[in-house]
Structure 1
Amino acid sequence: MEETTIKVKSLTPILRIFDVSMAKDFYLNVLGFSLDWEHRYGENFPLYLQVSRGACKLHLSEHFGDSSPGIALRIEVEGIEYFHKTLLSKDYKYAKPGLEVADWGDTEIRLRDPFGNKLVFYENR
């Protein structure tokens, strides 16, 4: 019997959203992600979309049951100080994140999206 290898290639988390305009404002305008695509099964159906920035892809869903609000993600970045300055320059009303050094040495920006999902952007040191 031939040995088979499985290569895990990527992870795309699904985050629950409740308001499309708030989600787009936060992920596109504040965090600088790009809108890759949107999908609805028909008129008056929930929206499902993909946003990305670099290699990071996130699915955002209005569909009940796709995910629970309040999950936590760690997203690795390079240039975290510049990213932090960029975030603060947006003057986003609902988040003024700090730049912290974790006990294990990573530099982190911690913030929540408008739906309670925790995003930790970090740079390995």
Structure 2
Amino acid sequence: MDIRIELVILPVTDVDRARDFYVNQLGFHLDHDHTVSDEVRFVQLTPPGSACSIAFGKGLTDAAPGSVKGLQAVIEDADKVRAELVERGAPVSEVQELAWGRFVFLDDPDGNHWAFQQIVRPA
């Protein structure tokens, strides 16, 4: 049996602001931006190199904007990713060295929290 996580819904207050943040500051690819009706708009984006996408919009969730706190993405090089995000103007933390990896953290404009983990394996 295969089980693949392929889409995570994020609650946001301003769809255009969120789309611009994820595309311009984080470098995510804009897959879809479709207004279905006055009640439904669907925006889907994929991080570079990822098999899983995020989506947000209007009429997709009743969760409170900014309530997602457990998003984690795996990266190859925390220093390199941090430098690129800083160059793009993203509000990213300094690299933090933890026992289970090297991390950079950020919140999107609504407060949804991301952790970017460089996995460090013992030598």
User: Shared fold by TM > 0.5?
Assistant: yes
- Structure 2 equivalent of residue 21 of structure 1: 16
1:36–1:52 Cα contact (<8 Å) kept: yes
TM-score w.r.t. length of structure 1: 0.81
> Cα RMSD over matched residues?
1.8
Q: Output the amino acid matched with 1:51.
A: L
Instruction: Indicate if the aligned counterparts of 1:16 and 1:63 stay in contact, CA closer than 8 A.
Output: no
Query: Who wins on radius of gyration, i.e. which is larger?
Result: 1
Q: What are the ranges of 5 or more consecutive residues in structure 1 without an aligned counterpart?
A: 1-5
Q: CA deviation at 1:10?
A: 2.4
* 3-state SS of paired residue (1:13): strand
Secondary structure of 2:23's partner?
A: helix
* Alignment partner, residue 115 of structure 2: 120
Q: Which amino acid in the other structure matches residue 91 of structure 1?
A: G
Find runs of 4+ consecutive structure 1 residues off by over 4 angstroms.
Answer: none
Counterpart of 2:39? 45
Q: Is the 8 A contact 2:36 2:42 kept in 1?
A: no
Q: AA paired with 2:55?
A: H
Q: Please report the TM-score for the alignment, with normalisation by the length of structure 2.
A: 0.82
Query: What amino acid does structure 2 have at the position aligned with 1:48?
Result: F
Q: Quote the sequence identity (%).
A: 24
Tell whether the 8 Å contact from 2:30 to 2:45 is kept in structure 1 after alignment: yes
Looking at structure 1, the residues matched to 79 and 87 of structure 2 have their Cα atoms a distance apart, in angstroms, of 12
In 2: Cα distance, 1:33 partner to 1:112 partner: 15
Where does structure 2 lack aligned partners over 5 or more consecutive residues?
none
The aligned counterpart of 1:9 is 4
